[in-house]
Amino acid sequence: MKKVIFSIVAVCFLMSCKSAYKTQKFVAEEIPLAPNYNEEKNWAVLPSTYTKELAAFSSQERDTLQADVFYVYPTLNTEKEDVRWNVPIEDIIQQNKVVHKAVLFQASAFTTAGKLYVPFYRQAHIRSYQMLDSGGEKALLLAYSDVKRAFETYLKKYNNGRPIIIASHSQGSTHTKFLLRDFFDNKPLQKQLIAAYIVGTVLKPDLFRSIQPMTVPNEVGGLVGWNTFKRGHYPKGKNIYIGSVTTNPITWNAEKTTELNQHKGFLYSNKKIYKKALKIEVTDGLIWSTNPKFPMRFFMSFMKNYHVGDLNLFWQDIRDNAVLRTQTFLENSN
């Protein structure tokens, strides 16, 4: 497991994770209490608890959806002054970030494909990736232990044999790689896997034994993933990306470039979708994107790392693809 986490750490450094965070010794007695996932309050989203904002982006007939989506959100605790290794799930500030940022602008893309399940978890602080030996590894493994138990509860209490989409970003993808290994890879549950969207992490094609990268839009049972940067920009230490899974999140096939008219839609912070907003190029394990066309795009012209937008830059493209893969899975199951 440490080998996998170290590979994620390298990505974090390459993505310009900030240093000089305040910290303290990792003390087991100070670990926040583990959540009980039999209690609804410990889930950010269940099919019965959609916010009005999320419901507006979701299928208006979600009770009839035949698949589920299990989503694990990215790192949201990045404050330098925060000395905690793991955030208690009762933290209201963290909860609001999960529901009103990560869920609304990332997980919402999947809500026409299936019913959404999002557990709160004791997320590791961003510095955990830089400080593995000082407590970071323990913090990350603690966070995964929550995701794992939440998924076990989901299987036991909610799934009832339904097809599953796994979706995640950044730290969430650290955890879903383990989740795929522990529950799906070369195991009976893989028969229920529609697709795994494991985004914002280095994802080597031989990481799993039976779960393979998908290379056509309607393929099922495998994984997709990518990392997005500004066109023409190589991150420091770019070699770590070479050979990693780099799905084209617009065409979903082997095409290396796209045109504006192929882009289906970017979900911006004003909750509007901007179509034909960007072109991409697949290169050396990366997705290179043009500066998206949207209000205030001038300020994005200074950014070189588009990691924060890995999902919402391709929101409508993901939405349509998740529905297509789900339809294909259901048709093949009949």
Contact 320, 311 (CB under 8 A): no
Euclidean distance between CA atoms 87 and 44, whole angstroms: 14
Domain span at residue 87 reads: 2-17+31-333
DSSP 5: H
H/E stretch holding 319: helix 315-333
Residue 177: the pLDDT is 98
Please count the other Cβ atoms lying within 10 Å of the Cβ belonging to residue 118: 25
Average of per-residue pLDDT across 305-323 = 97
- Taking phi first (over 0 means left), then psi (-120 to 50 degrees means alpha), and beta for anything else, what does residue 17 get? beta
pLDDT in tens, 241-285: 999 999 999 999 999 999 999 999 999 999 999 999 999 999 989
Checking if the pLDDT of 16 tops 50, the result is: no
**Spatial distance between the Cα atoms of 277 and 291, rounded to a whole number of angstroms:** 8
Please say if the pLDDT value at position 2 is more than 60. no
Tell me how far apart the alpha carbons of residues 105 and 84 are, in angstroms, rounded to a whole number: 26
- What integer pLDDT is reported at residue 236 of this predicted model? 82
Domain count, the chain: 1
- Does residue 13 surpass a pLDDT of 50? no
- What is the band of 303 on the pLDDT scale with cuts at 50, 70, 90? confident
pLDDT band (50, 70, 90) for residue 235 = confident
Residue 190 lies in a domain: yes
Domain-located, residue 22? no
Is 90 exceeded by the pLDDT of residue 162?
yes
**What confidence tier does 11 reach under pLDDT thresholds 50, 70, 90?**
very low
Confidence of residue 299 (pLDDT cuts 50, 70, 90): low
Judged by average pLDDT, the poorest of 69-78, 231-240, 245-254, 263-272 is 231-240
> What residues are paired with 166 via a beta bridge?
70, 196
pLDDT (tens digit, 9 = 90+) per residue, 101-151? 999 999 999 999 999 999 999 999 999 988 887 888 999 999 999 999 999
Residue 23 in domain: no
pLDDT at 295 over 80: no
Nearest partner of 227 among 217, 237, 218, 219, judged by Cα: 237
Query: Is there a domain that residue 155 lies in?
Result: yes
Average pLDDT of the chain to the nearest whole number: 91
Q: Is 70 exceeded by the pLDDT of residue 5? A: no
Q: Please indicate, yes or no, if residue 25 is contained in any of the structural domains.
A: no
Is 258 inside any structural domain?
yes
Angle between helices 136-154 and 2-14 (to 10 degrees): 110
* Closest CA relative to residue 247, chosen from 226, 228, 223, 272: 226
Rounded distance between C-alpha atoms, residue 307 and residue 77, angstroms? 16
Q: Is 24 within a domain?
A: no
- Residue 7, domain member (yes or no): yes
Q: Which residue has the higher pLDDT, 240 or 317?
A: 317
- The answer to whether the CB of 231 falls within 8 A of the CB of 288 is yes
| Percent of all residues in the chain with a pLDDT value above 70, rounded to a whole number | 91
* Residue 60: pLDDT band with limits 50, 70, 90: confident
The pLDDT of residue 123: 97
Residue 15 has pLDDT above 50, yes or no: no
Each residue's pLDDT tens digit, 180-201: 999 999 999 999 999 999 999 9
Q: Which two tokens stand for residue 55?
A: 């419901």
Specify the pairing of strand 280-283 against strand 286-289: antiparallel
